[in-house]
Amino acid sequence: MDLHLLFDNLTNPALLFFFLGILAVQFKSDLEIPANSAKFISLYLLLSIGFKGGQELSHSAFSMEIVWSLLFGIFLAVAVPIYAYFILRRKFSVPNAGAIAASYGSVSAVTFVTAISFLDIEQIPFGGHMVAVMALMEAPSIIVGVLLIALFSKDKSEKPGISKILHHSLTNGSVLLILGSLMIGFLASEQHAEGIKPFTTDIFKGFLAVFLLDMGITSGRKLSAFLKKGKFAFLFAIILPMINGCGVALLSGLFTESVGNRLLFAILAGSASYIAVPAAMRIAAPKAEPSLYLPMALAITFPFNITLGMPLYLYIIQQAEQGFMIAGG
């Protein structure tokens, strides 16, 4: 792997703020971001990335690459939780396996946003339609996770209401905001978009740094208790995302030549939801342990992806590109 690329990522100020949050917990500091402020910043990040994605999409010519990208994203959101579930059932109960599988089939919007910041630093372009891909991957994995729990649960009286979960997953605040912002960005004229650029673009990285500081504090608080639960969950939270990310980094080359798009696909495949899925699983799987699936996604998979995952996936994509050029030449 290119060590310069890895060093660049690890010295990204936003990422360093994430580590500062973890250190604050270890030092038992009273540092914290008020809950209302953290929620506002998360909404801002989703709004900003959705709007900018819509603007990019409006300036892009419609192509079969966009169609294949959307279909591939939905395929991943369905396939990943299915195969993850059967791996997880070796160690966990049906509700826990279903909830964790749904988390790893779904996506982390914050990881996606961090990856976009990473691409900006490396000056690698990407397509605005990738925001739509991310938004479409949220709901299918939740639905698949709920269906798996319902199908394999021995206690049939506690089957979750599929219609209720379907409605919840489609109207989840993060899904609704990212899709709505995408449409608004798509419809807005370039002149109007320029008028709010200081809000949607100029302050983006600063807000991301504050949000990652809050994520670091939250991760640090959950990590110690989680580590007591055994090795399997810890290894799963690293190995499965790495397999998904590396595999998709290669497979995505079948329908897109864009390095930026391929990296974002790898990140989407390798990330895990710790916002939308936990909210849905409180209703769908009340017997599943949030103290298990939430720290796996937030305290293990999230740090792995934003530190080592992004440079690793980019390295694989770049090596594959070079190999293809040599073979073609």
Q: What tens digit of pLDDT does each residue of 97-132 get?
A: 999 999 999 888 889 988 998 898 889 999 888 888
Q: 265 near 299, Cβ under 8 Å?
A: no
Instruction: State yes or no: pLDDT of 238 exceeds 90.
Output: yes
| HEC readout, 150-189 | HHHCCCHHHCCCHHHHHHHHHHCHHHHHHHHHHHHHHHCC
**Residue 326: both structure tokens together:** 């040599």
**Residue 7: both structure tokens together:** 């060093």
- Residue indicated by tokens 């599943």: 288
Q: What is the pLDDT of residues 265-311, one digit of tens each?
A: 999 999 998 877 776 777 777 788 877 888 898 888 998 998 899 99
pTM score of the predicted model: 0.80
Instruction: State yes or no: pLDDT of 9 exceeds 80.
Output: no
- Residue indicated by tokens 């959307």: 70
Q: How far apart are CA 89 and CA 215, in angstroms?
A: 29
What is the amino acid identity at position 230? G
pLDDT of residue 161: 61
Mean pLDDT over all residues of the chain?
84
What share of the chain has pLDDT > 70, as a percent? 88
In the CATH hierarchy, which fold is given to the domain comprising 3-26+34-328? Na+/H+ antiporter like fold (1.20.1530)
Mean pLDDT is lowest, of 90-104, 119-133, 154-168, 182-196, for: 154-168
Q: Which residues of 194-222 are buried (b: 16+ CB within 10 A; e: fewer)?
A: eeeeeebeeebeebbbebbbbbbbbbbbb
Instruction: State yes or no: pLDDT of 317 exceeds 90.
Output: yes
**Residue 249: both structure tokens together:** 């980094």
Domain regions of the chain by residue span: 3-26+34-328
pLDDT of residue 46: 78
pLDDT of residue 169: 61
